[in-house]
Structure 1
Amino acid sequence: MYRLRKHIIIFLSFSYSLVFYGQNIDSLENKSTDELFNLYESSKKIDDKKSIIKVFLGKAKVNKSKNDIITGYYVLAGLYDDINVLKYSDSIISLTSKNPNAYHPAYDYLTKAYFFQDRYDYVNAIDNYLIVNEYAKKSNNSELIVLANYSIGCLKRKIKEYSGALKLLKENLKYANKLKDNNHKLLSLIEISNIYTETNNIDSLSTYSEQGKKLSLVLKDSISYHHFLTNEAITSYNEENIQESIIKLEKEKQFFERKKESKYLLYPYFYLANANIVIDNKKEALKYFKKVDSIHQIEQSVSPFVKDAYSFLISHYKKSGNLEIQLKYVNRLIAFDSIINTNSLFLNKRIYKEYDIPKLNAEKKIIIATMQKKEHMSLIVLIALFVVLIIVSLILRHQYKKRKFYKNKVEIIMTTTTTTTTTINNSNNIDIPKDIVDEVLLKLEKFELDKKYLSNKVTLNSLAKDLSSNTNYLSKIINHYKGLSFSNYLNTLRINFIVSELKVNSLYRKFTVKAIAEEAGFNNSESFSKAFYKITNVKPSFFMKQLEENY
């Protein structure tokens, strides 16, 4: 379904190109809708694309440009893979349902159908496919009718109504050949190959699989190529060529694991489990049936393989007497059956009544019954999303201002002459004889000039001893005349030294924060970083990065 969705977006989108460098919201607001679409098309990151199109949509609403609004909603629906797909599709449906054209709202119902089908919600999927069919017939849109038929054909295969599915899919293949649409052709070949694999029609499978593999190579679609190889491996198992099937299935398993394509792994895992049962390797069979369960937990697949896997697991743990794990798989099988009953069985009934028996007018009755608009998201959810959007915007703006603040700090540091420390108080009201004060201040000046503060051995006691004073006098003098506690005085000298060196000494810029901390006399990088930030209001790593980039 994703491939079809991708081609529809390409078909309906504009051709734009321009390089996007992550402009902030303010700069985007100053651009026209054409310029914004240029940025969207050339941007590589999904989050950037979303941000750009949201600004595009906002401008379209201000300009009251219905076409641009529809385009914005449609592109956003294609950029998300969650409930937002439905939200944006419903927005277009609301705008266009009274005056439909060849594309809207038909393609928006198709988008919703794909969304539901990808999540195995077949009931809602068929509802939307039938609405697509109605709009396609009204507008005489043959391509859209074929798209809907293809999707119905896929669902028919899932419920094993193979003859009807083959008829629709072969019509699709014929249509794709006529249009020379290789992507659409490949999708039809895949589904036809799946049917012949499930019905064990080896000759027909071989014919369509070969076509599919050649086309996959032309389109450089490795996933589809290995899908055909997986079907061939399953056919080897069905033909009881067990060892051959295990070798083939192992290769396909490894490929899809590397690609992290979990939904494709269900088939190699299931048939590897069964192949190992045949050769009486129960341990390997158990391992692969557990992997089938793990895939189901991710994909919520409605494949009958899942039920077979749970049946084996329940039986195995019943025999081993492990009631806890047995109960776990019993519960999972019950949950799986509820999905089947909610979607697959009901779908089976609806396809026959709504799609295959037009002479009984069932399609008309169901379409009338299902034409009611889907309820919009509740007000609470909308408010919550709005609040989240505001919070995220505020956080981003705060981070931007914070970075700007730090850059300004760096500029100030770079343009300011760094000194050691200064005497800020010349009064002598500290109950220490003036001659002693003068002597200590003179010796402190020499201490600073000789850069003895760079030693990590310096303490209040050691310095008092070196200055022929005592800790009480020294502490009072530094507090009074330097305006700092001893530790802050020492740290200020060290940080000012390091800042000065980083400004002029390119060698220092190559050091790590840890190495610079040691040069400055700190015992560890943590205490150095805290002192650096306290004195300069900038983290040392940020300061060094700015120096490297800008100075």
Structure 2
Amino acid sequence: MIRYVFYILISLLLSVVSYGQENAIETLNFNKSINTIYQDPDQTIKIANYFLKKSPSKIDNAKALYLRSESQKLKGNNAQSIEDLYQAKNILESINENYITSLVLVGLAQQCRYQGMHNVSKSYLSNATSLITYILDPYEKDIALSKLHQEQSAIFISESHFNDAFEILLKQNNNNDAIKKIVPGLYLETENLKAQIKLASDELESAKTIFNESLIVLKSQQLEDSSIKAVTQLGLGEVYFNENEHKIAKGFLLESLQVNIIEPKIKLRILNLLSKVYKQLDSISLSQKYYTESSLLSASLVNDERSVRNVLLSKIEENQKDTLEKDLNNYYVLGALIFTVLLIILLSYYFYNRKLDREYRQFEKIIKQIENKEKLEMVVIENATNNVKETKGVFIPSGTKNAILARLEAFENSDRFINPNMSLALLAKQLKTNTKYISEIIRTHKNKNFNTYINELRINYIINLMQGDAQYLNYKVSYLAEKCGFSSHSSFTVVFKSITDITPKQFVVFLKKNNKVAS
């Protein structure tokens, strides 16, 4: 009996030791698991789920949630990725773990950037930067810095600050060998980001060199069937497309589609570029095929982005509520202010886009009128104070009236109306008549007063100049005002908007855009 109990105790002891060793080994392999994400996100999710189910450790659970989040993001499940990141963040608030917390914060910053919330993104990055300074393990610090610099660079790229974006990544050069050894996938992400910056800066040879070097590392690190390969080949496809080497570009793009793991956003770029490549190669059917595929994927991503944005806003709000509950006196006003600012930004963005859409439709209407050789006229508002005043009527002999109308038509076809000193008296003198006759004819035959008549001629004149000669689109509004006879910038702007319902500045912007599309 004693021997039997002894055997049971020994067995239990060995089981505990075995589980502890297994758990310790898997914990130590966290950094390698980051690399596995690029090759097999599904397997990484299974490992993460095992941790969440079996391990009582909060740190292990936070690590598992981070790995699952990165895997879900790669698979295009950004809503679930955000959920996991915030769950990890909540766990880490109760413990002191700078390494994993910094990775989670950088992950949240990336998701916020995807949704255009750059201020929130920068806030997360600022917090991550502070935490990284306290990481003691050199390998962990290198990994955290690599992630941080990638996201900081991505924000600079989104703002078209390419030099700043590249400088940020150069900070990694001292740690590149260590990163390449521990997490080669992370090293390759940084290199591909450098190449993308060079590509965006039209430094095609530099971009091509970096992408080709990435392909060599992919092979040496046995990452040829990873999501990074798809990104690398897409980059080379973009380089060769810009060099008009469409057949070579096609080869890289088609090969990139053979990779098993492709992030949906990357796949969309590949399909879009393939459609363009086949169009250049006169393969219309294939071009249409990939265009259709990209359109379907794009629509799906747009729908996903709406739900992702809702989840992110919801999580941000939940996070704010948790913070308020913990320290209501200190943060209540700040939380309400952040919510209000976000709401104002969203509403401003919405109404600004509505305004732009309305103005652009009005612009298209104006262009169509001009193309149909219709003159633009000021919209007359009923019962407005600036309406044409009724007069007692002035009798004008028929012959005189016809002669004045003929001379008035000749005046309209000239550019005499751009004379800044043009007045009713001067016009009457030029048309060899008197002010009463010319005023009455403008009122009865043009259905407007003298000032409106002259202003409409001037606005039509300057619009025709802008449409006919692109050089005018580079001039200041004050010059355009002077060119068509207005004495001041402000009066020109008021009159221009009253006739076109668009400001001169916005009209120039739309016309530039229209000319660019047409060319």
Please give the range of the TM-score, normalised by the shorter of the 2 chains. 0.3 to 0.5
User: RCO (CA 8 Å, sep 6+): is it higher in 1 or 2?
Assistant: 2
Instruction: Normalising by structure 2, report the TM-score.
Output: 0.47
Instruction: Normalising by structure 1, report the TM-score.
Output: 0.45
